[in-house]
Structure 1
């Protein structure tokens, strides 16, 4: 027999979603502004409604059952659609907005998009702002919990709670200082392999699997230095004989200022995607849609 929605307390669903995403009653209660007993009571009522156990207790907190995972996929998406439908009745007015957009991204975003975005915002008024956060190890959880609005990365994320879009593309190039003793206007694969490199940490390097493109499965770059930021690659290369592999647009921006040669990557690796990733629950939010479009415009130029 089909469930009668009139008999269901729909207020239980946001509680269920919060517990699924937080994994603990205490954190879910804090997120919802409810007491822990009230959250526990809501879960019991929902269990009676669906006629199945939803969680089991473990040392780490609450473990969802297969039935809870199945229910979550539909409920979380449905709540996002409902929220968007209700919000969309009030169109976004950037001139009146005081929204702070929270962006998780590497410094590539700061260097190429942040200034133009702020300039666009100021054409409408002084209310909106942007806060850039680093891509920490738990950034996916931060995004799912809507503690950030959007993230940018060179690697896609498979998570049913998130939306992903290729928002731009880049080409890798190599930079070396002008006057480099072994590199002058051209770069062969052998030159690249023999050179000393300044690199990013391993996570950021995985976007360019060199052993695949250069045909040397056991070869590793001669790493002279490792830095934490993309732009620091350029500064180190400009002041030493180390070379760096960086996105083309970043190289074009800084090469004239730092006296760098910009050389094509010595193998054809095609274009590399830039992914925008955001919570599904914000997909239909008019302010979020407006902000995403501004970013598309800036990163496609």
Structure 2
């Protein structure tokens, strides 16, 4: 019995001794270097000298038994181990910061700027509601919205250059979080005087038409998921930068296009378009709010997430 007690009681002591030997301030350096991937800029952000940050990075390498950062161009690039550590370390730091006196997020006085990416065409539907909500609930808080999304978006979300993304596609990686916001219905649009289009369209007729799409070579393009099949790609006769341009071209030609019903209905009168249902295909689109797990405990991000979720309730 005494042997068991001695063994079990030794473990906490060993753990405490090990933790006392760790300089937890090094984790704030790790967080800054991971975000900026540049020693000089990280030093400026932390109010430290460059040699001090370099020394801290050297100690971090010993602590985690990994290079953590390697030279890349004029900056540095994190190793796989560093990328694995970033989420847990950032969340741990955020939990501590949340409990410090005066560290909470008060939207009535905060002057924080949030950066949100909204993929087309959702920007046309949500931008005014989001801006109005922020201005009404937190006039000192600012929000920057952008529709330009590329294959660097995961990096921007992971290192919080952008806090949230709103799109019809979700991130499949386990370190990203996705929350469904609402569902849209997909419809087909064509010019009202199109010689072959009617409300009784079929799959067979659909595959005979030329299609206009939002550029499918762009990351998170609205149209891309519907034209993965090479047979469908052969139907594409026009690629536009946004769905409004696509609909305008469709209204003046014999092409057809897939768009959300709300966008079609908002422009049928303006562009003289016909709206055709799509009973032969999966026509439900889910809009997602996505973010990186490392920002989940940030109280400011939690507030903004709630605000963005509330904005869609009035749609």
Q: Common fold, TM-score beyond 0.5?
A: yes
- Structure 1 residues 278 and 31, CA gap change in structure 2 (3 angstroms): farther
Residue in structure 2 matching 1:40, options 51, 54, 61: 54
Rounded Cα–Cα distance in structure 2 between residues aligned with 1:291 and 1:235: 35
The match for 1:197 among 191, 211, 214 is: 211
Structure 2 Cα separation of the partners of residues 281 and 65 of structure 1: 16
Q: Alpha carbons of 1:161 and 1:10: their partners in 2 closer, same or farther (altered >3 Å)?
A: farther
Q: State the Cα distance separating 1:210 from its structure 2 match.
A: 6.2
User: Cα gap change, 1:125/1:73 in structure 2, threshold over 3 Å: closer, same or farther?
Assistant: closer
**Structure 1 pair 63/286, CA: closer, same or farther in 2 (3 Å)?**
closer
State how far apart, in whole Å, the 1-side matches of 2:111 and 2:97 are.
20
**Farther-moved stretch of structure 1 (21-30 vs 127-136):** 21-30
Question: Who is 1:135 aligned against?
Answer: 149
Q: Which residue of 2 aligns with 1:214?
A: none
Q: Is the 8 A contact 1:155 1:207 kept in 2?
A: no
Q: Please tell me whether residue 82 in structure 1 is matched to residue 96 in structure 2.
A: yes
- Shift of the 83–244 alpha-carbon distance from structure 1 to 2, 3 Å rule, reads farther
| Separation of aligned partners in 1, 2:103 and 2:121 | 35
2:79 matches 1:64:
yes
Verify: 1:207 aligned to 2:225, yes or no.
yes
Residues 248-263 of structure 1: pairs in structure 2 closer than 5 A = 248-263=261-276
Q: Which has the higher contact order (CA 8 A, sep 6+)?
A: 1
Given the superposition, is the C-alpha separation of residues 190 and 57 from structure 1 closer, same or farther in structure 2, using an over 3 Å criterion?
same
User: 1:185 is matched with which residue?
Assistant: 199
Q: Is 2:244 the counterpart of 1:226?
A: no
Post-superposition CA distance 1:178-227 (Å, at most 9, x none):
2222113332112211112111222423322564xxxxx64434222111
8 Å Cα contact 1:17/1:75 also seen in 2: yes
Partner of 1:2: 15
**Number of residue pairs matched?**
293
Unmatched segments (≥5 aa) in structure 2: 1-13
1:221-267 CA-to-partner distances (Å, cap 9, x unmatched) read 42221111122222222233221101222223322333222211252
TM norm structure 1: 0.81
Aligned match of 1:278: 291
Runs of 4+ residues deviating >6 angstroms: none
Q: Distance in 1 between matches of 2:122 and 2:134?
A: 16
Distance 1:197 1:102, change over 3 A: same
Please name the residue that 1:148 is paired with. 162
Does the Cα contact within 8 Å between 1:175 and 1:263 map onto a contact in 2? Answer: yes
User: How far apart, in 2, do the equivalents of 1:53 and 1:159 lie?
Assistant: 24
Q: Distance in 2 between matches of 1:255 and 1:35?
A: 61
- Structure 1 residue runs of 5 or longer lacking an equivalent are 212-216
**1:235–1:100 distance in 2 versus 1, CA, 3 Å:** farther
Asked whether the equivalents of residues 84 and 282 of structure 1 are also in contact (C-alpha less than 8 Å), the reply is no
CA contact (8 A) 1:102 1:131 kept: yes
Q: CA deviation at 1:65?
A: 6.0
Question: How far apart are 1:39 and its partner, in Å?
Answer: 1.9
Secondary structure (helix, strand or coil) at the match of 1:234 reads helix
SS in 1 for 2:225: coil
Q: TM-score normalized by structure 2?
A: 0.78
Q: CA RMSD in A?
A: 3.0
CA distances 1:142-177 after superposition (whole Å, capped 9, x unpaired): 222222221123322245654322222222211112
